[in-house]
């Protein structure tokens, strides 16, 4: 069984913080999962941040300086620390490989609103 399970989303005021987690399990656990994507209503899914197996990171311009991606290799878990959240960060956040697999988890909803 293949699973990507994202968690940690919620409703937060502008300027607030959230920490997302993603666990890869099953046969997918053999595949390196180190990228966060998001999809806002009416928009295409976009890459937010990625971390390589060597620890190098890359971020979308819109989140640079505010988001931090990290990974626990032993637990096959990837995290996304999101600070200084803005209303435009509102989206469903997903983790996956890069390029992404055909399989996607359910994602976790992040809503930023006052």
Which among 85, 80, 86, 83 has a CA at the least distance from the CA of 107? 80
Taking residues 43-66, report their average pLDDT: 96
Which among 56, 80, 50 has a CA at the least distance from the CA of 67? 80
pLDDT of residue 83: 98
pLDDT of residue 28: 64
Tokens found for residue 15: 């300027």
Taking residues 24-38, report their average pLDDT: 84
- Residue 1 reports pLDDT greater than 70: no
Lowest-pLDDT range, 48-52, 88-92, 99-103, 105-109?
Answer: 99-103
Q: Residue 66: pLDDT band by 50, 70, 90 thresholds?
A: very high
CA atoms within 13 A on the CB side of 55: 1
Asked whether the CA dihedral 81, 28, 48, 60 is positive or negative, the reply is positive
């Amino acid at each position: 069984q293949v699973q990507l399970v994202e968690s940690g989303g919620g409703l937060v005021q502008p300027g607030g913080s959230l920490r997302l987690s993603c666990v890869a399990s099953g046969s997918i656990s053999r595949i390196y999962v180190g990228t966060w994507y998001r999809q806002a209503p009416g928009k295409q899914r976009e890459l937010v941040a990625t971390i390589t197996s060597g620890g190098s990171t890359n971020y979308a311009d819109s989140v640079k300086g505010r988001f931090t991606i990290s990974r626990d290799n032993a637990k096959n878990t990837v995290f996304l620390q999101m600070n200084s959240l803005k209303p435009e960060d509102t989206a469903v956040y997903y983790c996956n490989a890069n390029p992404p697999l055909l399989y996607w988890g359910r994602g976790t909803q992040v809503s930023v609103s006052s």
